[in-house]
Chain A
């Protein structure tokens, strides 16, 4: 070894994480070994190190924490051996990294673009430092080479990007025989907003504001993960009360999203009364947020060094009272759904992802837990205050819509318990730094279990504390491909139901 830098270094901060430099030649062997030991790929991205030097980065979830592998690529040869045969979710990550930065995965199973539709030319890469981030001359939208299925009676149904309902844009290409889906091919990237380029040279406080808008329904998770990364670089902990309040808001976010989705899961099987009853509850909870902090979805509540608002004793009492009401009401609605034969008939065995398939393809988050993938950061890598609260993980093994509904109900009740626990044991003291520590260069990570699943953030700050590279990863990136498997063999009218049971983020994956 000629270098004096340690090969593995522990990153400071609340997330247990280690960064190490790995040579391009050793990458595949290391990944194969790690995979055998049960490691999972959380994210894959690249960075421009200047003068035609590029680094590839991987984040692996391993026993007890996160391994961040940094792979320097040789100058003028930004390529690396493909890893999609080791980690299934590497497929789209590799393609996205190529579209944005021009790093090529040699030997990858797929060469189709992923995020680039025609907003920039095939030989230009917006995330490179030489690119100014401004608009390229308007190009023809390239036709996306969809996978086609041929045979007698097979026809295609194209759907999107503008859908029939109030949802985000994406294109779905169904190959069907009669009503049955043989194959689904998805094209996403319609909401690509260039957030990673936008983040460059922002100050950390501005970055956290942006991070809360990667996926609006996960604003607390996104902003918290980015705040964790900044705070780990600055090397200073946030006040304990702030950590507890952040967790409180994360659980409230989980609660309102689950209530809304359960409503839509009633709507999609024609039970409009269930929809109205769940949405009446959700709306009440949103108004509580507005009266407590002035924002219905808790945007900008997570700040660098703490939270925007401390809670008064009276606020805490009103939250406690609301928890009791919600618990009673949601139990009644759960009974209602369970006793409704028509609803159960639509839920059971629909959109099934078996535990074996889930393990092979790397399904995580709420959908993963419904297919026996027992991973929840609040349990697997608990930070303050989750360690104290001893979260009970919800899991099911059936992997169908019914299982995902059951996990959501369990998580609603667990969130209600946690909210009450956090309020009862809320430490006193400040809930925000009184002054910022001096900004400095460095790398840090954030990792938070949002309502949909994990939100990961890798961050590098430059010498004046401005953002050099920020890469957020929503769990949707890894879970979207598995939806294509979940719908196989189901009938087309069940697609909205299956899709809603996952409710993945388009904006979160498109970036």
Chain B
């Protein structure tokens, strides 16, 4: 235990502050609190990706991005989630599972399609095995292109989804 504490102390706090044109960190956190009054909970579904996008979603959990501090959390169940992060061109074999996962999300809910495959099937296209993009199966709010998109692009996409016109219909807490 002492060794672990020692190691943590030696490394210090690794989380970074970053910003993008639309918002800085503080604006982001305030907006999340204003809209959700709590953390934004995300559920991820791999609908046939090559696992490249999964690598970047994992990378979001690296300490540099300080995800929990930002007010974002991944959930084990779609029933606890506000937002669905979907990767892959949607293989025919995942179509039903994706529909059911989406149906399990309580309203209001948002969908972010991740990667060039999530947008339109990407390199895998549309075929006997692929439907050619997430929007072929469920309504999509925001598409984050890239092969794979970087963690910052993912964060920006999530931000765009919850601040979109549909996002602002949420009641404002006192």
One of B26-34, B40-48, B159-167 contacting the partner:
B40-48
**Which A residues are CB-close (under 8 A) to B61?**
279
Cα A141 to Cα B41 in complex, Å, equals: 31
Q: Which of A164, A194, A215, A273 contacts B128 (CB 8 A)?
A: A194
Q: Is the CB of A134 within 8 A of B50?
A: no
Knowing A193-B124, A193-B130, A260-B58 are in contact, say whether A280-B4 is a contact too (CB < 8 A).
Answer: no
**Interface with B: A40-48, A166-174, A243-251, A430-438, which one?**
A166-174
Can you name the residue of chain A whose Cβ is closest to the Cβ of B150?
A296
- The answer to whether the Cβ of B97 comes within 8 Å of any Cβ in the partner chain is yes
Known contacts A166-B58, A192-B129, A216 near B50 by CB under 8 Å: yes
User: Chain A nearest CB: distance from B43 CB in Å?
Assistant: 9
Max chain B Cβ within 10 angstroms of own Cβ: one of A120, A162, A217, A279: A162
A168 touches B59 (CB 8 A): no
| B92 closest partner in A (C-beta) | A119
**What's the count of A-B pairs with C-beta under 8 Å?**
168
Are A133 and B128 closer than 8 Å at their CB atoms?
yes
Known A216-B53, A216-B55, A297-B52: A161·B128 in contact at CB below 8 Å: no
With A193-B129, A216-B53, A277-B11: A299-B147 Cβ-Cβ less than 8 Å: yes
Given contacts A192-B129, A286-B59, whether A168 and B94 have CB atoms under 8 Å apart is no
Check A216 against B51 for contact (C-beta < 8 Å).
yes
The smallest beta-carbon distance between B170 and chain A, in angstroms, is 26
B8 interface contact, C-beta 8 A? yes
A residues 106-135 with Cβ under 8 Å of B? 117-120, 126, 131, 133-135
A273 touches B127 (CB 8 A): no
Complex CA gap A377/B65 in Å reads 37
**Which residue from chain B places its CB closest to the CB of A264 in the assembled complex?**
B58
What is the 8 Å Cβ interface bit string for chain B, positions 45-79, against chain A (1 contact, 0 not)? 11111111111111101111000000000101110
- Bound together, the chains give a CA A366 to CA B56 distance in angstroms of 23
Indicate whether A339 reaches chain B with its CB closer than 8 angstroms: yes
The stretch that binds B, out of A206-214, A387-395, A417-425, is A206-214
Query: B52 touching A190 by the CB < 8 A rule?
Result: no
Flag whether A195 is at the interface (Cβ < 8 A): yes
Interfacial chain B residues near A297, Cβ < 8 Å: 52, 55, 148
**A168–B46 touching, CB < 8 Å:** yes
* A507 lies within 8 A of B63 (CB): no
User: Which residues of B sit under 8 angstroms from A360, Cβ to Cβ?
Assistant: none
For B58, what are the chain A residues with a Cβ–Cβ distance below 8 Å?
166, 260
- Known A-B contacts A126-B128, A134-B127, A198-B127; the reply to A162 vs B97 at CB < 8 A is yes
B3 within 8 A of A: yes
In the bound complex, residues from chain A placing their C-beta under 8 Å from that of B128 are 119-120, 126, 131, 133-136, 194, 197
Q: Can you give 17 A-B contacts (C-beta < 8 A)?
A: A120-B128, A126-B129, A135-B92, A135-B128, A141-B96, A161-B94, A162-B97, A165-B74, A165-B76, A168-B46, A169-B97, A190-B94, A191-B91, A192-B93, A273-B8, A283-B59, A297-B148
Hey, which bits of chain B sit against chain A, CB under 8 A?
3-4, 7-8, 11, 14, 44-59, 61-64, 74, 76-78, 88-89, 91-94, 96-97, 101, 123-131, 147-148, 150
- Please give me the 8 A-B residue pairs with the lowest Cβ-Cβ distance, nearest first: A216-B52, A194-B129, A119-B92, A164-B76, A283-B62, A279-B62, A216-B50, A213-B50
